[in-house]
Structure formats: C-alpha cells, structure tokens
Chains A and B, each alone.
Chain A
Amino acid sequence: MAQRYQPVTARRGVAAGWVAAVLLLCLALTPLVVLAGVITEGKTGLVLGDPYVVRVLRFTLLQGGLSALLSAGLAIPVTRSLARRQHFPGRELLLRFFAVPLGLPQLVAVLGIIAVYGRQGLINQTLLQAGLPQLPAVFGLGGILLAHVFFNLPLAVRFLLARLETIPAENWRLAASLGFSSSDMFRHLEWPYMRMALPGVAALIFMVCITSFTVVLTLGGGPQATTLEVAIYQALRFDFEPALAARLAGLQISLCALLLLLLQRFSLSVALAPRLRLKSVRPDVRASRGLVTDGAVILVAASFVLLPLAGVIIDGLAADYARLAGDPQLWRAALWSMAIGTSAAALATLTAAFLARAIVRSSGSGAQGLRMIGNLVLLIPPIILAAGWFLLVYRHLDPIEFSPYAVILINALMALPFALAMLEPGFRASFQMHDRLADSLGLKGTKRFTLVEWPVLRSSLVLAFLIAFLAALGEFGVIAFFGNQELVTLPLFLYQRIGSYRFNDAAGIALVLLVLCVAISWLIERPPLPRSRA
C-alpha cells in the first residue's frame, strides 16, 4: 500500500517549540536546584523558628496586604468618576499616563516620590512657606505603601474601568430612563461589575507587592521594614549566608505558588493590563450633577500619578548635563543597558516565538504544557532566579566573565510570559488565516516566512520586543545582585549616585531613563502597527 500523504502543517515547529521549552525549564530550574543544594549548609533548624525570618515574613505580608487594599479601594471612587466623565479635555491622555507607572523603572519612580513627598520635596517646601508642619518622613512602611499605591492604583483603575466598559450601553440607557440616582447607579450597576474584578485585582497587586524589591530596598531598610526579597539580597550580597538565603527563597516561592493558584481562580490575565475602549455613552450622567465631586476625585488622582513624574522632570532639568555627558562611566552604563536590553529582548522574543508557534499547532494538552512552561517564571520571582544564578556564578564560575550573561538570561526569562501573551494571538491568526492556503500553494521556507508570516506577525513581534526591552532597561533587582566594577547598567549607576549623595547627577540620569521609558511605553500603547504596506 502506498504511504498516505500526511499534512505537515499541523506539526511544523512543534518539535522546535518543545526543544525551546525544555531548555527554558532547565534554565529556570537551575537556580532552584542550586538554592536547594545549600539550604542545609551552616546552622540547621526550622525556618519559621527563626524570629528574624518570622519578622521579615510578617512585614512582607503586611505591606503587601495594605498596598493591595489601599490601591484597590482607592481605585473604586477614581474609576467611578472617570467612567462618569467621558468628555473632559485630556481624559485620553490621562488614561495613557495611568499606564506609565507600571512601565517606569522603579528606581526612577522612587526618586519622583521623594521629590514630591520627601524632606526637601515639593509638598514640604510648600508647607514650609505656609508655616505649616512638615509631612512625616517618606521612609519605612508609609513610604513603601505610598510607592506601591503609586504603581498599582492606576493599574487597578484600568482594570476596573475595563470592567465597567463591559456594561451594555442599553443598561446605562435603562438606568437613565428608570431615573437611577447616583447611589442607585452605584448599588445596581457600578458596584456589581467592579466587585467581579476587585478580588482578582487585589490579589494581583498583593502578588506584585510581596515580590517588590526596589521600593523596599530604597524606601524601607532596617530590620523593621525588610521583605523576603530584600532579606535574600542582604543574606547573599552582604552576609554571604547561602543557607539563610535559600530558606527565605523557599518561603517566597511557596507564597507565590499559593497566590498564583488563587489568582487562577479569578482568571485574570497576569501578563497584560487591559486595553481600554476609552469611550462609553453615558446618558445617565447629567453634566452638572456630581461635577464637583467627580472633578475633585479626578484632579487628586491625576496629581497623585503626575506629580512624581513632574518631580523627576523638574529635578532632572536642573542637572548638569554637560558634566554628565563628559562622564565616561555614564556612557559605559548606557552601553551596558542597551546591550543587555537588546540581547534580553531578542532572546525573549525569539523563544516566545518558538513557543507560540508550537502552541498554536499543538492539541489541547500539548499547548497547555508549553504555555505552562512559558509562564513558569511568574511562579519564580526574578530575585530568586538572581539569587540562584548568583550563587552558581560566584561559587563555580568567573563572576566578571559570566555575570553579564546571567543578567541577560534572567531578564529574558522575566520578559518571556509577557512576550508569549503578546505573540500567541498573532501566531494563531497567522495559522488560521494562511497555513492551508500557503500549503496548497506550496510556499516553503524563507519565502513562506517573508511573504505570509512576517507581514502578519511583524507588529506583535515588535511589541513583544519593546515590552521586553522596556522591562530590561529599567530593571534594578537582578543587576543589584550581579553588578560589579565592570558591569554597571543605568539603573545601577543611578543607585550608586544616590548612594554617594550625588543627587544632582542622579536626577539627570533619572530624567533620561524616564524619557526613554515613556517613549517606549507610548509606542507600546499605540494602536497596533499596520499589518503590511498594502
């Protein structure tokens, strides 16, 4: 019997995807194995019997919980006012700015917060001139919460607003026609819809905040205000106690796994903040009623998000750029940042492309397995990856030679879930639209790629690359582990300038980073690039 023709389409790229997945699995699990190997070194004993560990754990949960409550809670009135007021000038711009804090290097944001709320900040200077008492210091729990709300309130608002946008237009009209008062509207419409999204949003913020490193390192400090991640960093970089670090890491991973299980129940995409439609018709809102309240709420929220950005800009403009530009160290840091960002983004995008290609061509369980491996890093916080690779590099390899590779690798791993979420829909579309047609025309190899796949995938590949590059550009935690005299990126350089009290230089570098990141995130926020030149 003659051999029957087997369609190749369905299987193409699946094997390559699995090779990438296995490689990925090894690279992500290596640090865990390394940490597990040192967990019994030195003194033994129960992890939770150590009062230091317990205190750190308690503070981690406390600040995470309060950050989530504050961010999600404050988002409710802000969302409501923003949803009611569809037409004020600058609304779209403001909502775009609400996407900025997440894309901002955390160190830059922290500088912005100090510029506004710090001892010499905008608010204290105003209070001083008015003869009023000063704000409490921005360090410690208060400062950490302030920074976390700054990052996460806009995120929560975008999630809740997206949920309100799912209310059918007819429902708003009905509400108007039935004569709902503002509180009826909240009780019968706004709150039920927001309530559906709130647990997931709060859980997501909690998760983000208990793995927050930079904010806690800079605004916290001292044994009173240390989280697990900062404690791991200190245990490795300063005290070199691998066993303690490994135990803390074990705790942190268990905590994250538990939370991810919870998050899955809310079926909330961890990877991407929702895109907003930006327009709803609200015949229930009368121009005058509630205008003052809505206006005040929006103004306060806008100031809260925009002031720290303004702070970075104002302080940054006062920097001496001529001197900065003559500093060879700065140029070296910029070069490292570009090199690491580009390599990490390329690696992440390429790996994600292999995975996505295999996912859309696999059956249910195969696709799920690949997707799970791609998202694995969400389970392992970057600081844990950094800690494991740090131990490996510093104990068994040449740190100067291998540190840059470790930094690139971890940055790529961190960006992978986001790149994958970006790419999968594009690959699916390409697969569904063109695969059979291309097969029937006999298109193969590079011709098939340039003619059929690239035009469809170009925009999502570019987006995935940009997102990964943006994340790597502002990344501070991993470089804090691996940085040395040879290897300094822009964020680390910034941190060193703050550490040596050269605030003028720091402000200048922060502004440069801010401009770069805002430019990139606006490229990302833009409507998708045109598919092809028609």
Chain B
Amino acid sequence: MIQPLLQLRSVSFRYEDMVMVFDLEVGKGEFVAVMGPSGSGKSTLLSLIAGFEAPLSGEILWEGKDITPLPPAERPLSILFQDNNLFAHLTVFTNVALGIDPSAKLGPQDRQRVMDALSRVGLHGLEQRLPGELSGGERQRAALARMLVRRKPLLLLDEPFAALGPGLKMEMIALIQELKREHGFTILLVTHDPEDAKAAADQTAFLHEGRILAKRATKELFQTTDIPELSDYLG
C-alpha cells in the first residue's frame, strides 16, 4: 500500500474515566466522515490531530513524519468548529486576513488574496461586517475563506453544519466539495448525522467509546451488518 497522508498509530488519550485509543489511516484527497454517538470521542480525535490535546502515547504521522511534537500552528491543517470560528470583535476581512499572518502588516497582494477568497465563498461586499452582522451560514463561509488563504492541505471540520438548517447544510457541503476539487484538500468531517456522511464523504469511519471500529467506503459502511454497535447506532 502507498504511504497514507495522515496516520494515527495507537494514539491514546484519557478523558475522565474513558481511555481512548485511535488507529486511523487517511489517504491523500480522501473525504472522510467521522461518525459516532455523542461522547464517543469524535471531537477529541480532531483535537488530538490539531494539537489542542496531547496524547498519552502513540504517534500521529504526516507523510510518514511524526507531528505530535509540533504546536497547533505548525501542523499542516486548518480547523472549522460548529461555532465561534471568527473573532467576534474583528471584521470579516481581518478575521480572514489573520489566516495569512497574524503579526505582519498585509501587502496589496495579501489583501487581494483575502478579497479573492471572500468572493470565492460568496461573501463579496461583506468584508467590513462584524461576525454578529452575518447569518450562521455566512459566518461558516467566512471561516472557509480563511482556510483558503491559509493553504493548509488538511481540513478538520468539527460538526460545522450542526447549527444550520437542511437547505443551508446542503449548500455548504456542495461548496466544500467544490473547494476540495479546486485545491486538492484532504478532509475529516466529524458528524453525528449519518445523512451528512452519505451526502459528503467517500469514506466513513465509525467511532464507538473511544475506538474506531471501522473505516470503509461510505456506501459499503452503511450496508455493513457485522458491527452490532453500528447497527444499534443506525437503528
């Protein structure tokens, strides 16, 4: 097998009484849904990959190199949460611009990049608004624009549609798939909704009590009957 892009080898973590151990391989360009009941460790998995939490043991490899010692900013990824992806007191433009360089002053080229990214996600003309003046969907688009200017190859999406209605959710999924085609992103999408996985992802991983019980092609996983926990979950 060719080397996976992202690999988790026995990455363990303790949350209160629960010990989690994750093993996972993600190939370049895959769109993987991470699905499971609440409390199964989905968000913890993303936090470990992003570097917000340190594992007890095990290693996280990126193109074969161990990235566990790296701080969050030096890992090859961007992350999108359900809420609060923007700094509420800064304009949309500034929020996106922080993705280029939080310290330096932006040159005209950088400003153009920010404007282009905003246009790409359909927020042209809204750059001087504050996040509070945008709808929930627009706020998530602004965060996507920041992912575009950051140019990191891996996107971690932590239930980013949970607060959106069904129509908006489908729009966002379509947009993310377009961006993925244009930029070749690899994507991990955490969700508790099987429909999201079916609509968005070509691969789906199923989590249960801190273990990844299966990762298969999405279609295949939903027809699987040999995992009782999955059958219980899907009902």
Contacts and interface: CB of A to CB of B under 8 A. Distances in A.
Given A179-B74, A181-B103, A170 B90 contact: no
A174 interface: yes
B83 interface: yes
B50 A173 contact: yes
Interface residues of B, number: 25
Contacts of A193: 89
A283 B73 contact: no
A177 B150 CA distance: 11
Contacts of A184: 102-103
Interface in A172-222: 173-181, 183-184, 188-189, 192-193
A279 interface: no
Contacts of A192: 87, 89-90
Nearest to A181: B103
A188 B73 contact: no
Contacts of B78: 177
**Interface SS, A side:** helix
B149 to A, nearest CB: 11
Contact of A176 (B51, B81, B84, B90): B51
A286 B70 CA distance: 11
Given A173-B52, A177-B78, A178-B102, A283 B87 contact: no
A188 B90 CA distance: 8
B234 to A, nearest CB: 29
Contact of A168 (B50, B84, B98, B102): B84
B52 A178 contact: no
A181 B102 CA distance: 8
B152 to A, nearest CB: 9
B200 interface: no
Contacts of A188: 87, 90, 98, 102
Interface string A272-312: 00000000010110100000000000000000000000000
Given A170-B84, A170-B85, A188-B87, A176 B52 contact: yes
B4 interface: no
B103 A283 contact: no
Nearest to B53: A283
Contacts of B89: 192-193
Interface in B140-176: 150
A178 B97 CA distance: 11
Contacts of B75: 177
B71 interface: yes
B103 A170 contact: no
B83 to A, nearest CB: 6
Given A171-B87, A188-B90, A283-B52, A176 B72 contact: yes
Given A168-B84, A188-B90, A173 B102 contact: no
A175 B74 CA distance: 12
Given A174-B84, A177-B72, A177-B73, 5 more contacts: A177-B78, A178-B102, A181-B102, A283-B52, A283-B53
Interface of A: 168-171, 173-181, 183-184, 188-189, 192-193, 281, 283-284, 286
Interface of B: 47, 50-53, 71-75, 77-79, 81, 83-85, 87, 89-90, 98-99, 102-103, 150
